[in-house]
Amino acid sequence: MSVQRVLIVGAAGGIGGACVDAFDLAGWQVIGADLNTEHIPSAAETHILDVSDAGKVASLASRIGRVDAVIYAAGIVATMPIADTDFSVWRRIMAVNLDGAAHVAKAFVAPMIAAGKGGSLVFLSSAAGVRGEAMASAYSASKAGLIGMTQSLAAELTSHAIRVNAVAPGNVDTPMLREVAREISRNGGGSEAEVWNEFAKAGAAQRLVTPQEVAVVCAALCSPTFSAVTGTIVPVDAGYLL
């Protein structure tokens, strides 16, 4: 069997970077894309990409061709009350977290269907998409949107042997969560260390999730062993949603 190829979008991030390493370890050929490629782990071939630009996504798809799997780990967050949420902030979160996922699905599903060999898509949703998070309405809405999109695409594409799943992480130790802790602290929510401690204690297991724990689930969902698994939303949250 030829080597399987995976595209990881958001590969310079905490979870995306861990996905690069997990897929590399599992013997996949890894292609990583991000706004800035500097922090993408060296195992990946790298491409600069702004997911909110549909033209750039289509152009990347025409350059790299069909891949066997796509992990959508690009994302941004803002923590603020709705009354202070400027619509441009709301729009930017949707553009990256939800529109970008649609651009990527559109561009990379077409060559999968054309090749007739199936494929797998995994979207990084969030526990906040399953149970809306206070002070994060745009983020929660975008992540709930990804769940709807995952289930719809799974139903649409199963006849092409393309499986579509989402993971819903809880609090994962990455640059994104550290930025959220800084933002909450700046807005009077206590010291950064206190906020971080609250994050760690939020789940039943009373600890943060590691990016590697999320990445192995993404890789497993793309493995042929999971051939009957599609349309699922898998919490990887150390009991956050319990």
Ligand X SMILES: NC(=O)c1ccc[n+]([C@@H]2O[C@H](COP(=O)([O-])OP(=O)(O)OC[C@H]3O[C@@H](n4cnc5c(N)ncnc54)[C@H](O)[C@@H]3O)[C@@H](O)[C@H]2O)c1
- Give the interface with ligand X as residue ranges (CB under 6 A): 10, 12-16, 34-35, 49-52, 73-76, 96, 124, 126, 169, 171-172, 174-177
Strand partners, 122: 71, 165
Are 20 and 41 in contact by the 8 Å Cβ rule? The answer is yes
56 vs 160, which CB is nearer to ligand X?
56
Nearer to ligand X, 14 or 41 (CB): 14
DSSP H/E element including 12: none
Q: Which is nearer to ligand X, 4 or 97 (CB)?
A: 97
Report, in Å, the least distance between residue 174 CB and ligand X.
3
Q: For ligand X, which is the closer residue by CB, 16 or 119? A: 16
Q: How far is the CB of 102 from ligand X (least distance, A)?
A: 13
Active-site residues: which are they?
A: 139
Residue nearest to ligand X (CB): 13
List Cβ<8 Å contacts ≥24 apart for 226-232. 226/163, 227/163, 229/163, 229/165, 230/154, 230/158, 230/163, 230/164, 230/165, 231/150, 231/151, 231/154, 231/155, 231/164, 231/165, 232/165, 232/166
CB of 224 to ligand X, least distance (A): 25
C-alpha–C-alpha distance, residues 83 and 79, integer Å: 12
Of 195, 119, 127, whose CA–CA distance to 167 is shortest?
Answer: 127
Show the tokens assigned to 110.
């077409």
